[in-house]
Amino acid sequence: MSHKTVTGKAPGQTKQTDAPAETRQKNSRMANLELLRCIAMMMVVILHFLGKGNLLPSLEQPDMDFTGYMAWLLESFCIVAVNTYMLISGYFLCTSSFKLSRLVNLWFQIAFYSIGFGLIGALSGILRETPFDTHYILTLFFPVSMGHYWFLTAYVFLYLMLPFIGNAVKQMGRQQLKLSLLFLLFMFCLLKSILPLRLEMDQMGYDCLWYLCVFLTGAYMRRFGIPFLSKKGRGTFVYVICCFTIFAGTMGLRAVYLKTGSLGLMLKMFLEYNHILPFLAALGLFTAFAGIRLQGKTASIVTRISPYTLGVYLLHENIGFRYSWQEWFGAPGVDSLPRLLLCTMAAAACVFCCGILTDMARSALMNGLHHLLGKTAFYRKITEKTVRVDSAFRS
Contact at 8 Å (CB) between 253 and 263? yes
Cα–Cα dist 280/39, whole Å:
18
Strands (E), the chain: none
Query: Which of 52, 69, 111 has the alpha carbon at shortest distance from 362?
Result: 111
One-letter identity of residue 34: E
Residue 83 confidence (pLDDT): 97
Q: Please name the residue ranges forming H helices in 224-336.
A: 227-230, 234-260, 276-290, 296-305, 309-316, 325-328
Instruction: Determine the average pLDDT of the residues in 40-64.
Output: 96
pLDDT in tens, 306-341: 999 999 999 999 999 999 999 999 999 999 999 999
**Does residue 213 fall inside a structural domain?**
yes
Residue 358 confidence (pLDDT): 97
Helix (H, G, I), strand (E, B) or coil at 195: coil
What residues contact residue 102 under an 8 Å CB cut-off, 6+ apart?
A: 159
pTM beyond 0.85, yes or no: yes
**Does residue 384 fall inside a structural domain?**
no
**Does residue 1 fall inside a structural domain?**
no
**Does residue 311 fall inside a structural domain?**
yes
Across the chain, what does the average pLDDT equal? 90
Query: Which of 159, 46, 161, 156 has the alpha carbon at shortest distance from 110?
Result: 156
**Cα dihedral 301→12→219→294 (10° resolution):** 0
Helix (H, G, I), strand (E, B) or coil at 334: coil
**Does residue 19 fall inside a structural domain?**
no
Does the structure show a pLDDT above 80 at 118? yes
Largest CA distance in the chain: 75
Q: Give me the percent of the chain exceeding a pLDDT of 70.
A: 92
Query: Which of 148, 154, 286 has the alpha carbon at shortest distance from 207?
Result: 154
Residue 153 confidence (pLDDT): 94
Instruction: Determine the average pLDDT of the residues in 258-287.
Output: 95
- The length of the chain is 395
Does the structure show a pLDDT above 90 at 13? no
**Does residue 394 fall inside a structural domain?**
no
Query: Which of 238, 309, 236, 248 has the alpha carbon at shortest distance from 69?
Result: 248
Contact at 8 Å (CB) between 28 and 303? yes
**DSSP percent split of the chain into helix, strand, coil, nearest 5:** 70, 0, 30
Query: Which of 291, 308, 318 has the alpha carbon at shortest distance from 37?
Result: 308
Where residue 7 falls among pLDDT bands split at 50, 70, 90? very low
Could you list the residue range(s) of the whole structural domain that residue 277 is in?
26-361
**Does residue 188 fall inside a structural domain?**
yes
Where residue 115 falls among pLDDT bands split at 50, 70, 90? very high
**Does residue 13 fall inside a structural domain?**
no
- Residue 374, judged by CB atoms within 10 A of its CB (0-12, 13-18, 19+), counts as middle
In the chain, the number of structural domains is 1
Residue 160 confidence (pLDDT): 93
Where residue 94 falls among pLDDT bands split at 50, 70, 90? confident
> What string of DSSP letters covers 76-97?
HHHTTHHHHHHHHHHHHHTTSP
Q: What is the 8-class DSSP label of residue 129?
A: S
Residue 166 confidence (pLDDT): 87
Contact at 8 Å (CB) between 8 and 386? yes
Does the structure show a pLDDT above 70 at 124? yes
Does the structure show a pLDDT above 60 at 249? yes
CA R_g for the chain: 22
Instruction: Determine the average pLDDT of the residues in 99-128.
Output: 94
Contact at 8 Å (CB) between 339 and 330? yes
Instruction: Determine the average pLDDT of the residues in 285-304.
Output: 92
Where residue 198 falls among pLDDT bands split at 50, 70, 90? confident
pLDDT in tens, 69-83: 999 999 999 999 999
pLDDT in tens, 131-188: 999 999 999 999 999 999 999 999 999 999 999 998 899 899 999 999 999 999 999 9
Residue 395 confidence (pLDDT): 59
CA distances from 201 to 9, 187, 279, 315 (A): 40, 10, 18, 31
Query: Which of 307, 339, 328 has the alpha carbon at shortest distance from 52?
Result: 328
Where residue 66 falls among pLDDT bands split at 50, 70, 90? very high
Residue 12 confidence (pLDDT): 42
Contact at 8 Å (CB) between 32 and 292? yes
For the beta carbon of residue 315, count every other beta carbon within 10 angstroms: 22
